[in-house]
Amino acid sequence: MNIRDLHHEDGQPPSADQQAGEYVLGVLDAAQRREAEQRISSDAGFARLVDQWEQRLAPLLEEVGSAPVPAPVWLRVRRELGWATFDTAPNARPWQRTGFWQGATALAAALALVAVFTRPAPGSYTPLTLPTTLRL
């Protein structure tokens, strides 16, 4: 007999089993998760329940595999969790993108280097003379 066999009168599983399953599924909030982690380290029976849930759900994880999550979904998840959101709008203007400014800066630096290193030496300047037919 284990803790799962001890059901309440209403047919609901005991809270330890439910909490272990929710911990493994990752649906607990931060405070509940810390509480469950403390309980795992101090209660061997609860740690066994968590291990049993992990073993039971591991084959499902292998079947499901992974899939890329669309960017709007991640933005919503971040917003729901209260995390800082960032704009990944695909139609952002070029000057609103970091890459644009990095490229512009690199181009400006390259032009400055060309201008500095291709100037004639101070004494080697020869004035341009116009042909006599073009003089006024």
- Per-residue model confidence as pLDDT tens digits over 17-42: 999 999 998 888 888 899 999 999 99
* pLDDT of amino acid 66: 76
* pLDDT of amino acid 86: 64
Tell me, what DSSP letter sits at residue 12?
A: P
What's the CA gap between 119 and 136, in Å, rounded? 30
Residue numbers of the chain with a pLDDT score lower than 50: 1-8, 13
Which residue do the tokens 């330890």 mark? 16
* pLDDT of amino acid 135: 58
* pLDDT of amino acid 108: 93
What's the CA gap between 78 and 86, in Å, rounded? 9
Taking CA 123 as the corner, what is the angle to CA 119 and CA 125, rounded to the nearest 5 degrees?
60
Give the chain's largest Cα–Cα span: 114
Tell me, what DSSP letter sits at residue 118?
A: T
End-to-end Cα spacing for the chain: 114
pTM over 0.75: no
* pLDDT of amino acid 81: 81
What's the CA gap between 3 and 13, in Å, rounded? 9
Neighbours of 65 (CB within 10 A): 6
Q: Copy the structure tokens of residue 84.
A: 């800082």
What's the CA gap between 22 and 29, in Å, rounded? 10
* pLDDT of amino acid 1: 42
Closest CA to 35 of 49, 46, 48, 51: 46
